[in-house]
Amino acid sequence: MTSYQNIEEEAVANWHKNGLRVPLFEVDLGQAVYHGNYFHIFELAREAFLRDMGYPYRRFMDQELHLTVVETTCSYRRPLHYDDLIEVHSRVLWWRRRSLAFSQNIYRLEENNEPSLCTRATLNMVCVKFSGKPTTIPDDFTTLLKAQDIQQIEQA
C-alpha cells in the first residue's frame, strides 16, 4: 500500500501491519462484513503481530494462559466488502501487570491507490490461566513490550 502519513492524526510508524483480502464467508446479506466478524480479522492481525514480535500466541497457551478479551469498542466507518484488499495496523496501547490493550485499525486500498481508514477498534485483555483466574503477564513477554517502549500503566 501507499503512504499512510497524515491519516487520522496518528503516526503510523511503529504499528504492525498485516495485509489480507476479505474472505467471502465473513460477509453477510448486507454485502459488508458482519459486525461481529471484524473480530476475526483483528485476531488474525494480532496473531501476526505476536508472531512477528517473537512471541506467538501459542506460547501463551503452552503456559496454560489466555489473553481473554474483557472489553471492546469498534467503530465501523466504511463497510468492508468481499475481496477488499485491506491492511490491519495493530499495536499495544498500554499494559499493566495482568492486562493490556490493543489498538487496531483497518485500512482499505481504494481504487485511487490511496488507503482509507475503515474500521477502528480497541480491545482490552486480561491474562488468565486456563481456569479463568487472572494472573500476571509472563515476564519474557513484558520484556518485549518494554523493548518496544509501550506504555506501562502503574497499578492503582
Q: Does 101 bind its own copies (CB under 8 A)?
A: no
Residue of 1, 7, 17, 82 interacting with its own copies (CB under 8 A): 82
Q: Does 53 bind its own copies (CB under 8 A)?
A: no
Residue of 17, 37, 97, 114 interacting with its own copies (CB under 8 A): 37
Q: How far is the CB of 144 from its own copies (least distance, A)?
A: 19
Residue of 71, 140, 147, 151 interacting with its own copies (CB under 8 A): 71
Is residue 32 within a helix (H) or strand (E), and if so which, with residue range?
none
d(CA 74, CA 123): 9
Q: Does 55 bind its own copies (CB under 8 A)?
A: no
Contact residues for 154 (Cβ-Cβ < 8 A; gap 6+): none
d(CA 70, CA 124): 6
Q: Does 76 bind its own copies (CB under 8 A)?
A: yes
User: What is the distance in angstroms between the CA of the first residue and the CA of the last residue of the chain?
Assistant: 42
